Amino acid sequence: MALLDSALSDSPTATALVAALVVVHEGSALGEALGAVGRQVYELERVIVVGGGAEARGAVGADDWVSTVAEGLEALGSDISHVWLVHDDSLPRPDALRALVHEGGRVGAELVGSKILRAGHPGMLESVGLATDVFEVPATGLDFGEQDQEQYDVLRDVAFVAGSSILVNRVMLERVGGPDPLLEPVMGALDLCQRVRLAGGRVVVVPSAEVLHDGSCAAESKHWRLEAGRLRAMLKAYSPLTLLWVVPFNFILGLLEAIISPLFGRWRLFAFLRAWLWNLVRLPSTIGARRRVERIHQDDELFRFQVRGSTRLTSLSQQVADKAIRLAESERIRSLGHFVETSQETVRRPVVASLLGGVGFALLATRQLWADGVASVGYALPPAASVAAALGAYGGGWNPAGLGSPEPLRPVVGAVSLVQVALFGSGSIALVAILVGAAVIGVIGVARLLGPFGVRPVARYAAGVFLIAGPAARLLAGDGVWHGIVAMAVLPWLLSVAMHRRRTIAAVAVSALLTAVAAAFVPLMLVVPSAALILWALVEPANGLRNVGRSVTGAVLAIPALFPWLGALDDLEFFFTSGPDFYWSATPWVTVMVAVVAAGGLAAAPRPLAQLSGWGALLLGGGAVLARTGSFDWGTDPGAAGMALAGVGMAIIIGSGLEAGARAFDIGGVGRYIRLVGLVAAVLLLLGTITVAIPGRLGFPSKGVVETLSFTAEAPPGRAVFIGDEALMPGGGRQLTPEVSYRVVATPEPRLWEAWLAPERLGDDAIASVLSSALSGGSFRLGEELATFGVGWILATGPGSVVDALDAQLDLLPLAIPDTIVYQVEIPALRAVDESGADWILNGTGYVGPSSGGTVRLAENADSRWAEQWEQDEWGNRVTVDGGVIEFGPIEVLRTTSLVSLAWVGMLVIAVVTVGRWKESG
Amino acid sequence: MKRVLIGVLAAVTALAAWALPAPEAATGVVPELPELPETGQRAAVWFCPGVDSEVDPILTASLVSPGLVGFTLPADGDILDAFQTRIEPGVGDWDVGDGLLFHPGPSIVETSTIPSGAAVVYRGPVQVAVDGCYTPAKEWFIAGATAGPAETVTLRLFNPLLEQARVTLQVITEFGFEPLLDLESVSIGPRDWEDVPLGLVLGTREQLAVQVTVTEGVVIPSLSISGPNGLAVWPGESPSATWEFPLAQVAGTAGTISIWNPGTEDADVTIELMGRQGPVGLFDLVVRPGREERFDVSSATSLEAAAVVRSSVAVVAAIRSEGAAGNAASTGVARPAARWLVPGHAVVSDLASFVFVLNSGDDPVQVQAGPVGAESKATVNVPGHAIVRLNVDGRGADIVASAPVSVAWAVVGEADVGLGLGVPLAVQEP
């Protein structure tokens, strides 16, 4: 008898009488499932099909069909000791039930589950028991596509088992009330297992019970249903104390995922909202179900098999890492599908290590910005406190720069406002987020640009580091031309897309979007990439026309994104000359070192690297010409575009120089030494980036104009005027003479929408006249005259006779502010004052005052759109309003144009996503 | 070959970039006030230190072209009162005593156009004085004072701006430098003044000179002496090697020229006295470094006389003219000019006012004189080394000479006299 296997016997030696409830999810595979169930070597007492409607009912007959599991339980005879819940998309191996019964009985488990393998890929694991985190997010513990090598074939207690095949003691099943019919399969299984465990039962996975699962039931597991099920399962299982912190955290995590998921092409916000709404509606049902849960154990039993931390957060970070890896990989490598790796293997790869190093440097070089913000120098002013006001101003509203203007704001203001919207209106971190993002994408962009030329990861990421922390970035940051840094960071991507993308339509779509982004920050980026590609065509004629064509087409398609500003740009001279004269005065050290690297590359590097060196040198030379046009009174824009070009040129030179140096020993003779000299020079230049990394502000100074003007914070909002050197003024100034400029800004804190001045209007001419008169000795009551402009303070940005002239004024009170020469206007300087003398307070770009309204003099440039009852008061406005609010009446054409422009950008985004999906599907 | 071409092209581009010059203001420093756009006429501001005595100030200002004149009385950081008037070429005036009896404070005179000039006539029941209004300087020297037992000697320090000001005072007497610790650093509040009672601080002194060094802000000093003979007020000045006094001795008083050598070398000084008839005499004296010497004009002549002081080194000079007719004082003219305004001349109708023109040169000078803004002027000939006394009929005096001359003016009251200098102007090009 010892040879007789009881499991193969029909004798009553069977330890359990089992009935199978085959739960229909998808239905099409019901016949196969029933066949697999029928082939079980452990004989089933009965097989009942659950759900699936008339089709399923017809397939098995009315006696063996029920609509719910609960009905199925009722239909079972009293002799049935165990119930086997099987999905209709599951194909249990013939010995699966036997293993479940025997192993479950052996260890005394009330609920046992199977090892689930993917149907069609029988060697691929789907689950061998599952764990969760505290937020009930399932975790298989498996790597994607992990093969079954019996590595998990150990009988063990788990948090829950897959619902595809569950054998459960009938008594226990009736005690816990059966599966929750409201939950989809995954959460249904989790919920059932949790209740069994709380009721004192063991949940065990039996790996020898193999089930092939084709996953049809996943159609029911839509994201929102998973979310809803998780929440319901938590609400039912956890103690109130645990729920007190788990539920809020779960909400925050869900929201975070909803915000981040669009980056990965998924929209989770609606699923998130729907899941919570679903639970809200079913809260009474959930409470009722919770009351019915039998609790022999407490939460500690649930915690026993939970993984530490948040699986969802881990998953998100993994997705971010994957995304970064995909960005880092060259397209050639991506197309080979080599990026599928485990996390540990990924990190060990040079490309990823370099990527992490480059990105790490970018984050290191910007770390202090998070704490301190971006110092308000040059154009780096904090975004508007109210993003709605900023968007309103951008869309045909009042341009508050200087004494104001109806001219449209620069696209950069709109772009920053959109980022601000994404950050829930937080202006304080919008600029920081943009700059940190720019630093990161700048590093990766250079690496992407150089990768296909055979520049290996370390060299190309080092070149990326040089882009964001080299002389170009330092100069741009030091002068507060922060938007130039953004444009410079996008430029390598633009070049890479035009040169390396295989499909022209994809290249054009991406190029258009990237050009729109870059040109929003520095409008000349409409033409700079094409110019750079023309230079490349000189170096390498192959595909030259194609590359330039792609770039030009992208630039043309990007033009609508710059409206309404571009449409209203009728003074090109003003555009080219506004802002402080930009002048790149490279140190001899940098000049010589870069020249050595470039010359070395040209002379001794292999052909592709030599081409890169030559191209980099041409970009550097061309960019330097533009970046030194300050002597022609060209303003900031040409300089910023030139500096971006020069920065990318230098990065290319450094990348090719490092790579050539790394290959020095591939050759002999003089060439080897030339490469080594270039390598040494490139490394020395790279060392200079430490000066940016250590302070951690990306080259921005620690203090700016906001700190300088902080003494005005106690007074009502007003204006201050800077007089002296234009380079020291926020956003540059208007010239009184070639050496002396002035700049009117709002106090206590000038905002980004003031950074770019519009062409002069009446008030600007008037205040220039007043200042000129005082500085040339034409008047000695400057304060009295400036007060009519709402200017309460004067800051002299240069020593010398400007200060002497201001010192001679009779109504200016010098203030003792360290490191700053400041005068306070003696009399009250109000921007808006009514006939009773009441001060109307600046609010956004408008004003608020007493609710009774009245006639108000506005110290803004005259424009009849300030109110219906309007009259010109010299250069300003006198308006009569009924209420307590004065708002500039928007210019509808500009507002409509801005909306169309926004829609156009949206279309570009959709085009890029669509093209990306074509490629993925291809 | 291609590598070479690209390298050459890059090098040429880089050289082109290198050749571009830096903008001129790239250093961020504005050393000089550059040429500013024309904004019409320049304005002028004059600071009048004032005097604390029983007198009413009558502020006067002259314009040779139409414009605005504003008078302001600053006090204790604020504006006590102000008056503004538009005038055609001529004189605007404001009798502060109309509203404020014996206002002791300083004043500010602003004019919207230049050329302009300002002066103050101080008139009281007994005392009369005149003084000019001045523009800022960093160092002032005041010579010629005394601190007699019956005199009240007061140093007025006027800060016209809204900024705190600070000065350092050095007092020189017949005993040499007087180490007065309290006066080493004197603060003057914004738009305010400080009166330093030198007579109380020092006691009796036969000679008294003060150096006022402005260490912060703007300070305009003046010295006043009030005594039994009346009130005398005079300002500070800067050392010069030449001083001309168109009136060194007022009629009815005895003139004294005080010469203070603030330098480190002996000053060999020549004093030339001149009267209406021509030269009176030439006198030499030596002034030791840090000392003040006096020359008694009345010892040479009892008439109205002018004086020219020429020194081997820069010295400070002032005249006091005191006697039964009154008490007056004045600084000298360091640089003669061809055009002068006398804003306060004949503004106060009950005081006699005279203008004195000194031609210290060898050749005669033709002088045209008339009220400010008058279309026609009378012409007089001033011989070399002589003075003339002009009776300009009208408010203010506008003196145009064919060569540089010096101009002073005097007012004569019943019991006191006042003496001041004209305001030199650059000759307007036709």
For chain B, list the domains and their CATH numbers. 44-132 (2.60.290.11), 139-425 (2.60.290.11)
Cis ω before B115 (30° cut-off from 0): yes
* Confidence bin at A809 (pLDDT 50/70/90): confident
- Residues of chain A with Cβ-Cβ distance to B34 below 8 Å are 737-740
Put simply, the chain B residues between 162 and 221 with a CB less than 8 A from any chain A CB are 162-163, 190, 218
Q: What number is the average pLDDT over the span B211-237?
A: 92
Q: Are A725 and B23 in contact (CB under 8 A)?
A: no
What average pLDDT does chain B have? Answer: 87
Side-chain-side CA neighbours of residue A541 (13 Å) = 1
Q: Which of B21, B28, B31 sits opposite A727 (nearest CB)?
A: B28
Q: Are A415 and A520 in contact (CB under 8 A)?
A: yes
Give the residue from B18, B162, B219, B220 with the most A CB atoms within 10 Å of its CB, the best one to mutate.
Answer: B162
pLDDT at res. B426: 62
- Residues of chain A with Cβ-Cβ distance to B110 below 8 Å are 780-781, 810
- Nearest of A199, A164, A201 to residue A185 by alpha carbon: A164
Looking at the predicted structure, is the pLDDT value of residue A404 above 70?
Answer: yes
Residue of A nearest to B159 (CA): A810
Put simply, the chain B residues between 38 and 57 with a CB less than 8 A from any chain A CB are 39-45
Q: Which of A628, A779, A800 sits opposite B43 (nearest CB)?
A: A779
Helices then strands (H, E): number in chain A?
36, 25
Rounded to whole angstroms, the Cα distance separating A408 from B153 reads 67
* Confidence bin at B31 (pLDDT 50/70/90): very low
Q: How far is A597 from chain B (nearest CA, A)?
A: 12
Rounded to whole angstroms, the Cα distance separating A69 from B244 reads 124
- Residues of chain A with Cβ-Cβ distance to B160 below 8 Å are 810
- CA A543 from chain centre, in angstroms, equals 33
- Residues of chain A with Cβ-Cβ distance to B30 below 8 Å are 724-725, 739-740, 798-802
Q: How far is B107 from chain A (nearest CA, A)?
A: 12
Q: What number is the average pLDDT over the span A650-674?
A: 89
Residue of B nearest to A620 (CA): B14
Listed in order, strand segments (DSSP E) in A393-459 are none
- Residues of chain A with Cβ-Cβ distance to B65 below 8 Å are none
Phi, psi (rounded to 5 degrees) for B275? -120, -170
Q: Is A727's CB within 8 Å of B26's CB?
A: yes
Residue of A nearest to B29 (CA): A798
Q: Which of B17, B23, B36 sits opposite A581 (nearest CB)?
A: B23
Phi, psi (rounded to 5 degrees) for A47? -125, 120
**Per-residue pLDDT tens digits for B262-296:** 989 999 999 999 998 888 899 999 999 989 999 99
Q: Is A811's CB within 8 Å of B17's CB?
A: no
- Residues of chain A with Cβ-Cβ distance to B14 below 8 Å are 595, 617, 620-621, 624
Angle at A340 between CA A257 and CA A452, to 5 degrees: 105
Q: How far is A631 from chain B (nearest CA, A)?
A: 4
Q: What number is the average pLDDT over the span A763-789?
A: 88
Residue of B nearest to A583 (CA): B22
pLDDT at res. A6: 44
DSSP B4-49: HHHHHHHHHHHHHHHHSPPPGGGG----S--PPPP-SS--EEEEE-
pLDDT at res. A703: 81
Rounded to whole angstroms, the Cα distance separating A817 from A823 reads 10
Q: What number is the average pLDDT over the span B398-413?
A: 92
Rounded to whole angstroms, the Cα distance separating A494 from A486 reads 13
Cβ of residue B127 closer than 8 Å to a chain A Cβ: no
Cβ of residue A445 closer than 8 Å to a chain B Cβ: no
Q: Which of B14, B32, B163 sits opposite A814 (nearest CB)?
A: B163
Q: Are A678 and A347 in contact (CB under 8 A)?
A: no
Residue B153: partners with Cβ closer than 8 Å, 6 or more residues away:
B145, B146, B147, B197, B198, B199, B208, B223, B224, B225
Q: Are A717 and A754 in contact (CB under 8 A)?
A: no
Where is B374: in which H helix or E strand?
A: none
Q: Is A778's CB within 8 Å of B41's CB?
A: yes
Rounded to whole angstroms, the Cα distance separating A525 from A626 reads 13
* Confidence bin at A13 (pLDDT 50/70/90): very low
Helices then strands (H, E): number in chain B?
2, 32
What average pLDDT does chain A have? Answer: 86
Give the residue from A584, A632, A780 with the most B CB atoms within 10 Å of its CB, the best one to mutate.
Answer: A780
Q: Which residues belong to CATH 3.90.550.60 in chain A?
A: 15-222
- Nearest of A481, A721, A726 to residue A580 by alpha carbon: A726
- Residues of chain A with Cβ-Cβ distance to B42 below 8 Å are 776-778
Residue of B nearest to A739 (CA): B25
Q: Which residue has the higher pLDDT, A346 or A428?
A: A428
- Residues of chain B with Cβ-Cβ distance to A819 below 8 Å are none
Q: Are B82 and B71 in contact (CB under 8 A)?
A: yes
| Residues A429, A431, A433, A436, CA torsion sign | negative
**Where is average pLDDT lowest: A240-244, A854-858, B231-235?**
A240-244
Q: Which residues of A823-839 are buried (b: 16+ CB within 10 A; e: fewer)?
A: bbbbeebbbbbbeeeeb
DSSP A634-680: --HHHHHHHHHHHHHHHHHHHHHHHHHHHTGGGS-HHHHHHHHHHHH
* Burial classification of residue B362, based on how many CB atoms lie within 10 Å of its CB (0-12 exposed, 13-18 middle, 19 or more buried): exposed
**Per-residue pLDDT tens digits for B328-368:** 999 999 999 999 999 999 888 888 999 999 999 999 999 99
From residue A214, how far is each of A47, A521, A672 by CA, in Å? 21, 51, 60
Looking at the predicted structure, is the pLDDT value of residue A9 above 50?
Answer: no
Q: Is A802's CB within 8 Å of B33's CB?
A: yes
pLDDT at res. B42: 64
Cβ of residue A592 closer than 8 Å to a chain B Cβ: no
Rounded to whole angstroms, the Cα distance separating A453 from A465 reads 18
Q: How far is A824 from chain B (nearest CA, A)?
A: 9
Cβ of residue B28 closer than 8 Å to a chain A Cβ: yes
Q: What is the largest CA-CA distance in chain A?
A: 124
Put simply, the chain A residues between 532 and 571 with a CB less than 8 A from any chain B CB are 538-539
Phi, psi (rounded to 5 degrees) for B359? -110, 100
Kindly state the tokens that stand for A450. Answer: 């150089």
Residue A281: partners with Cβ closer than 8 Å, 6 or more residues away:
none
* Confidence bin at B78 (pLDDT 50/70/90): confident
Residue of A nearest to B79 (CA): A811
Residue B293 corresponds to which amino acid?
A: E
Rounded to whole angstroms, the Cα distance separating A854 from A883 reads 8
Where is A692: in which H helix or E strand?
A: helix A690-693
Rounded to whole angstroms, the Cα distance separating A239 from A593 reads 67
pLDDT at res. A328: 57
- Residues of chain B with Cβ-Cβ distance to A808 below 8 Å are 45, 136, 161, 218
Q: Is A778's CB within 8 Å of B40's CB?
A: yes
In three-state secondary structure terms, B55 is: coil
Looking at the predicted structure, is the pLDDT value of residue A165 above 90?
Answer: yes
- Residues of chain B with Cβ-Cβ distance to A766 below 8 Å are none
In three-state secondary structure terms, A715 is: coil
Phi, psi (rounded to 5 degrees) for A43? -70, 135
Q: Is A780's CB within 8 Å of B26's CB?
A: no
Q: What are residue B294's DSSP bridge partners?
A: B258
CATH hierarchy code of domain A15-222: 3.90.550.60
Put simply, the chain A residues between 380 and 409 with a CB less than 8 A from any chain B CB are none
Portion of chain A with pLDDT greater than 70, in percent = 93
Residue A325 corresponds to which amino acid?
A: I
- Residues of chain A with Cβ-Cβ distance to B61 below 8 Å are none
Interface A-B: count of C-beta contacts within 8 A: 168
Give the 3-state DSSP-derived string for A585-603, with helices as H, strands as E and coil as C: CCCHHHHHHHHHHHHHHHH
- Residues of chain B with Cβ-Cβ distance to A625 below 8 Å are 13, 16-17, 20
* Highest mean pLDDT out of A342-351, A757-766, B25-34: A757-766
DSSP A601-626: HHHHS-HHHHHHHHHHHHHHHHHHHH
Residue A88 gets which letter from DSSP?
T
- Residues of chain B with Cβ-Cβ distance to A479 below 8 Å are none
* Burial classification of residue B10, based on how many CB atoms lie within 10 Å of its CB (0-12 exposed, 13-18 middle, 19 or more buried): buried
Rounded to whole angstroms, the Cα distance separating A317 from B167 reads 69
Q: Is B25's CB within 8 Å of A738's CB?
A: yes
Residue A906: partners with Cβ closer than 8 Å, 6 or more residues away:
none
**ipTM here:** 0.72
Q: What number is the average pLDDT over the span A835-848?
A: 89
* Confidence bin at A337 (pLDDT 50/70/90): very low
pLDDT at res. A11: 41
Residue A26: partners with Cβ closer than 8 Å, 6 or more residues away:
A88, A89, A216, A217, A219
Portion of chain B with pLDDT greater than 70, in percent = 94
**Where is average pLDDT lowest: A324-333, A402-411, A824-833, B307-316?**
A324-333
**Per-residue pLDDT tens digits for A442-484:** 999 999 999 899 898 889 999 999 998 899 999 999 889 999 9
